[in-house]
Amino acid sequence: MHIVRGRATEDRPTKKRTKTFTGDAWADPLMPQTADGDTISSVTFTPGSRTYWHTHTGGQILIVTAGLGWVCAEGSPPEVIRAGDIVWTPPGERHWHGGTRTTIMTHVGISIGPTNWLEAVEDEDYHAPPAIHDG
Ligand code: MN
């Protein structure tokens, strides 16, 4: 067992994520990465920002703690997520997550095993769920 105390301090500044994110996203690790590559981070996506496409070796749990965002699994349209929602992404599923074009979204991400980063999410793939018209 290993207890990690709250880590927010002024001498440990929040990091802006750049290499595998589009736009401005900010991340605070909540726990040091384990030897197996597991991580827990709180990530805040500003409007328009999102991850690149990626997979998680052992899957990922997202706990949306504030705001409104989009999450998308490859082959399906994006879906709205908001504070209180939980997203389970199984191992190996290609996906992305982020704010919407106009809103911030913050989630705690619990990633099991290493994350495999892929290409950027193009603007045409970054959009709200299509409207449902039922006649
Ligand atoms: Mn993910």
pLDDT at 85: 98
Residues of the chain with confidence (pLDDT) below 50: none
Tokens of 87: 């997203």
Task: Write out the residues surrounding ion ligand 1, Cβ under 5 A.
Answer: 60
Tell me the β-bridge partners of 66: 106
Tell me phi and psi for residue 125, to 5 degrees: -95, -5
pLDDT at 134: 62
pLDDT at 135: 57
pLDDT at 130: 87
Residue 92's alpha-carbon distances to 21, 56, 82, 125, 126, in angstroms, are 19, 6, 24, 20, 21
| Cα 121 to averaged position of ligand 1 atoms, centre (Å) | 13
| Cα 117 to averaged position of ligand 1 atoms, centre (Å) | 9
pLDDT at 12: 78
**Overall residue count recorded for the chain in this entry:** 135
pTM (global) more than 0.85 = yes
| Cα 1 to averaged position of ligand 1 atoms, centre (Å) | 26
| Cα 13 to averaged position of ligand 1 atoms, centre (Å) | 23
